Amino acid sequence: MENTQKEESVQKKKFNYKILLRAVLALLFAALLIAVIILALYTDEKNGVVMGSEYSFVTKGVHSKLCNSNLISLIEEKENLFSTEKENSDIFNINNALKGEQVKISAETMGLLLLAREMYVKTEGAFNIAIYPLVELWKFSPSTFNYAVKEPPSDSDIDSMLQYCKFDADTFILDNENLTVTKKYSESKLDLGAMVKGYNLDIARQNADDYGLSYSLYSFGGSSILGYKKSYNIGIIDPNNKERVLGSLLLPENMCISTSGTYERFYKDSAGNIYHHILATNGKPSTSGITGVTVIGESGVLCDMISTAVIVLGLDKGRELMLEYGLTGIIVTQDNKYSTVGNIGFYPEIDDYIRI
């Protein structure tokens, strides 16, 4: 009797031990499994402000935190080159220089200026980074803009500014060899605002390549997006009615999408007339009737430039320009019409617009 009792208690102990071991193994296994799943699903979301506009990144992959922190640092560094406000940036120095002064700039800034020159010539002045003195006159610059009711500048003020606002080789001498810029007029000023958000996408792409990132969605200013190594479903907000989405399209892998719109900055005068910030070659807000443009292409900076140019150029010339550069997109007019350019898979979600 005693023997079996002892045997039983020994058996019981062995039994407990085995169960305990199994429980511990199971827990370790579960912990490992959970860790693996979390790492696989890990999404880093970053939102903030850099170089005067907001950014939003949604990135998959554990090392994304490091990659995106580096991206922010890279872009913050660019402020020392491109900012109109930051003392001693290339653009600041150019803007504050006197006529005839040879301003030394970085190769990177020169690269963007040459690109802007090419686009200025190509669009016959529709895309013009030298229009900044007029932008300031109209109170559309970052430091002067607000929504308060105000009177527009007079025609004579606008006319006298126009001569300083040319970006031809005569008004701005770009010496690529010596990396200098020389102005004809002290009053002339440059602003890279219409290029920088798109350029940031190109920087983001290069940085992600360097870090071997899996995939990510990069957005700058709510108007320039890159779908890195993945295609994303993008909703296009109706430029005529910001409450709703015009439709959606699939942004192909590694492509950039950029929008420009007259709704971005505008104000009214006391009579209720609306003035928006995209100035045409006559120094006044463009009257082409286009309210919003969406451009899709590989190069971020190119898409950004062209989206602005198309608003000034109008529907036909704008579409021509986009097709010439192999870009696709959507053009929306103020009278509730829209046109798709090139082959894009656009799914409209409104039914009160006419497709042209």
Partner 1 sequence: MTKKEKNFCKKPFSVWDIVIYIVFTVFVIISVVFVFTGEKGNTVEIYLDGKHLYSFELSTDRVIELEHNTVVIENGEVYISYADCPNGICMDTPPISKVGRSISCLPNKLIVYISGDSDYDAVIGGGL
Q: Which residues bind partner 1 (CB under 8 A)?
A: 8, 11, 14-15, 18, 22, 26, 29-30, 33-34, 37-38, 41, 45-49, 52-54, 56, 58, 72, 143-147, 217, 219, 221-223, 225, 232-237, 239, 242, 245, 248, 257, 259, 261, 263-265, 292, 294
Give 95's contacts (C-beta < 8 A, 6+ positions apart). Answer: 84, 132, 189, 190
- In whole angstroms, what is the distance from residue 89 CA to residue 300 CA? 22
CA distance 346 to 87: 44
Phi and psi at residue 219, to the nearest 5°: -135, 135
Q: How far is the CB of 144 from partner 1 (least distance, A)?
A: 8
Q: Which residues contact 240 (CB under 8 A, 6 or more apart)?
A: 291, 292, 332, 334, 336
| Distance in Å, CB of 94 to partner 1, minimum | 24
Query: From the CB of 174, what's the least distance to partner 1, in Å?
Result: 30
In the numeric block, the tokens 């949604």 are attached to 58
Separation of alpha carbons 195 and 192, rounded Å: 5
Residue number with CB closer to partner 1 (211 or 263): 263
Which one, 176 or 233, has the nearer CB to partner 1? Answer: 233
What contacts 140, CB < 8 A, 6 or more positions away? 265, 277
Q: Smallest distance, Å, CB 196 to partner 1?
A: 14
CB under 8 Å to 85, separation ≥6 — which residues?
A: 52, 92, 142, 143
Amino acid at 156: S
First to last CA, the chain: 98
Q: Which is nearer to partner 1, 7 or 320 (CB)?
A: 7
Q: Which residue lies nearer to partner 1 by CB, 166 or 265? A: 265
Using the minimum distance from each CB to partner 1, give the nearer residue, 314 or 329: 329
Closest CB to partner 1 among 226 and 315?
Answer: 226
> Please, what is the minimum distance in Å from the beta carbon of residue 353 to partner 1?
15
In the complex, the smallest distance separating the C-beta of residue 109 from partner 1, rounded to whole angstroms, is 23
CB atoms within 10 A of CB 335: 10
Least Å from the CB of residue 246 to partner 1: 8
277 is written with which tokens?
């910030």
Please identify, using beta-carbon distances, which residue of 139 and 189 lies nearer to partner 1. Answer: 139
